[in-house]
Amino acid sequence: MENDKLMRYYALLERLTGTMADSEHFTLDRLNDSLAGLCKLFRVSKGVTEFYKSASHEKSGRGEIFVCYDSGEGGSEVMGRRIVTKSMAVTKCRVYMPTGVEPLNDEEREKVDLIMKTVLSFVGNIKLQKIVERLTFYDDSGYRNMRSFMRYLELLNEKKQLGTHTAAYFNLRHFSQINQEIGRNAGDMVMRNYFTMLEEVIGDEGIVCRVGGDNFVAIFDDGLLIDVLEILKGVPVTYDAGNSKRVTISASTGVFRIPDGFAYEDPGDIMDKIVASTKTAKNSDSESIVFFDSKTEAGKEKLANIRTLFPQALANGEFKVYYQPKTDIQSEEIIGAEALCRWEHEGEVIMPADFIPILEQSSDICKLDFFMLERVCQDIRRRIDADKPVVRISVNLSRKHMLDADLTEHIIEIVDRNRIPHNLIEIELNESTTDVEFKEVKRVVGELQQDGICTSVDDFGIGQSSLNLIREIPWSVLKLDRSLLPADEENPHSTRSVMFKYLVAMAKELGLECIAEGVETENQVQMLRNNNCSLAQGYYFGKPLPSEEFEKKLDE
Ligand code: C2E
Ligand code: CA
Ligand code: CA
């Protein structure tokens, strides 16, 4: 080749490789442009490349063919090359020359071959990248997958744009039912069309991905929230070619509006929130869309807090016994009291509802109950020693104790160590729900009764009260829950009034003491009198009081 032609060849080759290396601006047109000069230089009329994922795809002709340069002059094939990549993909190139032009000499053939090799390895590379991309970021049905979602999150995080976005997790409602009704293929089409509707609304301002089955995640610009929710709340979706058959699709959705300055470490930080909210949405009959609430999060923190604070608080004596009087409504005398726990923490009084349920999730509640019993015994001992009047005190025991085989021994040990007559202590137990518990409750109550310690059924009337519970277990006291107490103006023939009357009578007949909880008004006291229920506990007679105040009342 003459020098001049050689120089042009190198310049064009450089331009070609430059085009290929510039991935940001690369287009097929640019590639064709770069090749055109080279083809002209070698009198070539057409260059075709082919790409096959594997040799078997090549055999069956399942590949992609693209023309890289075509002058339109036609001609016949003069050279070809086939390359198998490391991952067994096949790329092929064919070069055509018009008839009648001077054929390529050896040196020229060598140079054309180099161009083909360069183009082929490049095509192989970008095609492979696309395939890898598809396998990595799309699922078998062609939906973007979780990896797409995570990559998008990372990207938003890098660009510090999470704060202007909303994330959502959603599960199509009744989708298996819909599948059954319209058939699988139609079902697939419904899902695809629904997904496309969301993709169209979200566009470039977010991403929708399928997690698996009929579960999806999305993240999108806050401004799209209303439009996206519109679709998630329920829209008609077509499922036939003629767009005439439609079915309404809605989704149980958990939504998290990512706040500004959200501390993002990994995708789990966002996934946890939207998945949890979706669960809530699924379990709700009325709310198909649930927004993640940071208060729920704060609640979890509080829970962890209470658990960590508990041991020290118990040791510091932050738990206090309050006493609520039990009154004989005839004589208006205090005949006993219930010990109720209060947590005095950093100048604040925390109510049992805020910590008992949390302590009940572990055996911490047992420690607290024994602590309460110990304090109650100490208070009674002090009064006995001072020759002051004493009344029977009831202590609440959580059901958590029922599996403790040594429970009775433990209780007796505390009572006896403080030298308290057994008849001054009463143990309140909640209704049990399971058979196993029933058996345990029966054992514990029996043992305590043998030891002369009173037991009471607490909160009788809420939950699934069973008459078996009172027939088969030797209780001393039935505590009627305040929900059983008829309201002030209630008709004496109302179901509740009749039930109340019947329960009081039944307790009496079985030889059980009966006390009404939550008595708040004069009218209710009158109602108790009318029904021969002589014992009452409630705000009308006194709220739970700190021990000094309660003792002052007792002294009077
Ligand atoms: P409970 O055993 O049913 O206790 C009665 C609750 O009803 C007490 O709430 C009491 O303040 C409230 N009460 C009493 N009279 C009235 C009234 O007239 N009207 C209304 N509206 N409420 C009234 P408290 O003290 O907040 O205790 C709540 C629950 O916490 C107790 O329900 C009991 O289940 C549990 N609890 C309290 N202390 C302990 C404890 O030391 N150990 C265990 N295991 N549970 C405890
Ligand atoms: Ca109680
Ligand atoms: Ca109660």
Residue recorded with tokens 């039930």: 499
Count of domains in the chain? 3
Percent of the chain as helix, strand, coil, to the nearest 5: 50, 25, 25
Boundary residue ending a domain (270, 292, 314): 292
* Residue 254 token pair: 């958990």
Residues within 5 Å of ion ligand 2, judged at the Cβ atom: 396, 428, 458
Beta-carbon contacts of residue 393 (< 8 Å; ≥ 6 apart): 323, 336, 337, 338, 339, 376, 379, 380, 424, 425, 426
Same domain assignment for residues 369 and 268: no
Could you tell me the CA-to-CA distances from 324 to 42, 333, 395, 540, 543 in Å, in that order? 105, 13, 11, 11, 6
pTM for the structure as a whole: 0.56
Q: Provide the sign of the torsion angle of the four alpha carbons 262, 267, 272, 273, taken in this order.
A: positive
Q: Residues 235, 99: one domain?
A: no
Residue 477 is predicted with a pLDDT of 95
Note whether residue 298 is domain-resident: no
Residue-wise pLDDT tens digits, 518-542: 999 999 999 999 999 999 999 999 9
Atom of ligand 1 nearest to the CA of 520: 18
Give the CATH number for residue 546.
Answer: 3.20.20.450
Model confidence over 446-476: pLDDT tens digits?
999 999 999 999 988 876 666 778 888 999 9
pLDDT in tens, 95-109: 999 988 999 999 999
Which ligand 1 atom sits closest to the C-alpha of 459?
3
What is the pLDDT, as a whole number, of residue 298? 62
Cβ 206 under 6 angstroms from ligand 1: no
For residues 93 and 192, state if they share a domain. Answer: no
CB of 356 closer than 6 angstroms to any ligand 1 atom: yes
**Which atom of ligand 1 is nearest the CA belonging to 372?**
41
Ligand 1: does its nearest atom lie under 6 Å from the Cβ of 327? no
Give residue-wise pLDDT tens across range 314-332.
999 999 999 999 999 999 9
Share of the chain above pLDDT 90, in %: 58
Instruction: Name the closest-CA residue to atom 12, ligand 1.
Output: 518
Q: Is 480 in the pocket of ligand 1 (CB under 6 A)?
A: no
Domain encompassing residue 230? 146-292
Residues 321 and 368 in one domain: yes
What is the spatial distance between Cα 319 and Cα 341, in angstroms, rounded to a whole number?
7
What percent of the chain lies above the pLDDT cut of 70? 96
The CB of 369 under 6 Å from ligand 1? The reply is yes
Q: Does ligand 1 have an atom closer than 6 angstroms to the CB of 340? A: yes
What distances in angstroms separate CA 356 from CA 306, 359, 371, 377, 481, one per listed residue? 10, 5, 14, 21, 19
Average pLDDT over residues 412-441: 87
pLDDT of 70 > 70? The answer is: yes
Give the C-alpha separation, 248 to 235, whole Å. 5
**Strand ranges inside 71-223, DSSP E:** 76-84, 90-97, 165-172, 206-212, 215-221
Residues 161 and 116 in one domain: no
Question: Is 343 found in the same domain as 205?
Answer: no
What is each CA distance from 247 to 174, 190, 406, in whole angstroms? 12, 8, 62
CATH of the domain at 230: 3.30.70.270
